[in-house]
Structure 1
Amino acid sequence: MSLNLLIAEDDRSVCEMLRLFLLQEKIEPTFVYDGHEADRLMAAQPWDLVLLDWMLPGKDGIQLCKEWRAQRNAVPIILLTARTEEQDRILGLNLGADDYVTKPFSPLELMARIHAVLRRYKAPERGLATAPDLLDDREEDGLLRYKELSVDPRSREVTAGGRKLAPLTPKEFELLHLFIRNPRQVFSREQLIEQVWGYDYLGEDRTVDVHIKRLRNKISTPDRPWIATVWGVGYKLEE
């Protein structure tokens, strides 16, 4: 498996365990041991995925995750941490992490999560870019429209009332794409996980709420949140 993998972890014993395991998978990761070096390498070259320790010296993983997402860096991020409280997991997801692995962890479980995150990033993106059934053939320009919202599946740009919105992460885009393709359907969390994350998703269904919140924050206007909550059921586009 060819994977440009950055691991930011200050526990050398964890790094050695990961190095030996990943070498068996034909993966040669790059290790850094503090947040400043992780930040430098992130800016220096593209990465396929980052394993990011929460408690790094210099800059911790939460600070780095927040800064990278503010810079619109869409690299997949898996947080590594000894914290197990639900609010910690929600904080990490709110700041843009794609998954969360608590220590101690099994290398096999971590590898499964790496594969799952990469599939969620890469396979759906290829589908959105090339599958003709995802384009609204009623629109000559290939755009999908719902009221003032306009989505371009090829460039992945979204506009609202003619105003270009901030770039969406892959999962945010796929959620909005799904809603606009099915404007009157209410989706449960389980349905959204199956449609957007895939049947092999290993995380929690609360991640749907986190991504919906971030999507709302990016596309909402003062008089229209666009994504409506149907209490006890799920989510849908606002009528």
Structure 2
Amino acid sequence: MIREQSKANILLVEDEENLHDALKLNLELEGYEITSAYDGNEALKAIKDEYFDLIILDVMLPHVDGITVTETIRIQNNEVPILILSAKNSSADRVLGLKKGADDYMVKPFNLEELLLRVDKLILKNKKLLDKETIGDTYEFGNNKIDFKAQVATTWNNHVIELSKKEVMLLKLLIENRNEVVPREKILQSVWGYNVFPTTRTIDNFILNFRKYFEKDSRNPVFFHSVRGVGYKYSE
């Protein structure tokens, strides 16, 4: 079934080329966007650079094995769903994979239809967790008022500002995740619609504008914060 919704992004980490190509083809036929990695180091680099909805991860990988990759991802507080594929069938191996942070574990050879069902379930479950309670058409904070529908804001000193579509999208994303750091990869994917962007300066400029609009002292912001090396946060 080809998916109508926005495509989920999957990192496929498998060093056996024939299996990798077969999985990639079948996942793309389901409507997913696939990024390929063939060893543990490639996987960790991709995870650092991009936002993924799911990682499909082989255990026996060159350089860094799948269990270590899983452990490294979880140490970095990245909660991306991980589906481990392994030729190791013992309960001890399954327990180890799940204990290190995998969400699911499938043994090779596996049934393709079952794999696709599990992929779908993991992505849907993760999406529900990420979908915060949406805010309404208007939002007020610190004597500022934003009308998302009209793309207009009235600031604390009664200035009326027209907002661009991207400004509205970014404000909504930050406010819906209030008091939590939103990773820059997530912002780029949600607001700009693709994974890799050459610089985060674009987001920095938006945050600087928000401080000019909404903060009484833009050099000592109360609401809009940059968290170096991680992302951005709206605080109340």
The TM-score normalised by the length of structure 2 is 0.53
27, 33, 46: which one aligns with 2:51: 46
Aligned twin of 1:211 = none
Aligned-pair distance for 1:27?
2.4
Aligned-pair distance for 1:108?
1.1
Aligned twin of 1:56 = 61
Aligned twin of 2:14 = 9
Which structure 1 residue ranges, 5 or more long, are not aligned?
Answer: 132-153, 158-239
Aligned twin of 2:133 = 129
Aligned-pair distance for 1:155?
5.6
Q: CA separation in 1, counterparts of 2:179 and 2:66? A: 28
Query: Any idea what the Cα deviations from partners look like across 1:54-95, whole Å, max 9, x if unmatched?
Result: 011000000010011001011111001011111111111111
- 1:57 is paired with a residue whose SS is coil
29, 33, 41: which one aligns with 1:36: 41
Q: CA separation in 2, counterparts of 1:155 and 1:97? A: 28
- Asked if 1:97 is matched to 2:102, the reply is yes
The TM-score normalised by the length of structure 1 is 0.52
* Number of equivalent positions: 135
Aligned-pair distance for 1:125?
4.3
Please tell me whether the aligned partners of residues 12 and 24 of structure 2 are also in contact (alpha carbons under 8 angstroms). no
What does 1:214-233 align with in structure 2 at a 5 Å threshold?
Answer: none
Aligned twin of 2:74 = 69
Aligned-pair distance for 1:21?
1.2
Change (3 A) 1:90 1:12: same
- Asked if 1:109 is matched to 2:75, the reply is no
Q: CA separation in 2, counterparts of 1:86 and 1:108? A: 23
Query: Any idea what the Cα deviations from partners look like across 1:20-46, whole Å, max 9, x if unmatched?
Result: 212321223111111111111110111
Which structure 2 residue ranges, 5 or more long, are not aligned?
Answer: 136-176, 181-236
Q: CA separation in 2, counterparts of 1:119 and 1:36? A: 28
Change (3 A) 1:124 1:75: closer
Q: Find runs of 4+ consecutive structure 1 residues off by over 3 angstroms.
A: 128-131, 154-157
Task: Give identity over the alignment, percent.
Answer: 39
Aligned-pair distance for 1:130?
5.5
- 1:43 is paired with a residue whose SS is helix
Q: Looking at CA atoms only, which structure, 1 or 2, has the larger radius of gyration? A: 2
> Which amino acid letter does the alignment assign opposite residue 87 of structure 1?
A
Q: Which moved more, 1:84-93 or 1:114-123?
A: 114-123
What does 1:59-208 align with in structure 2 at a 5 Å threshold?
Answer: 59-126=64-131, 129=133
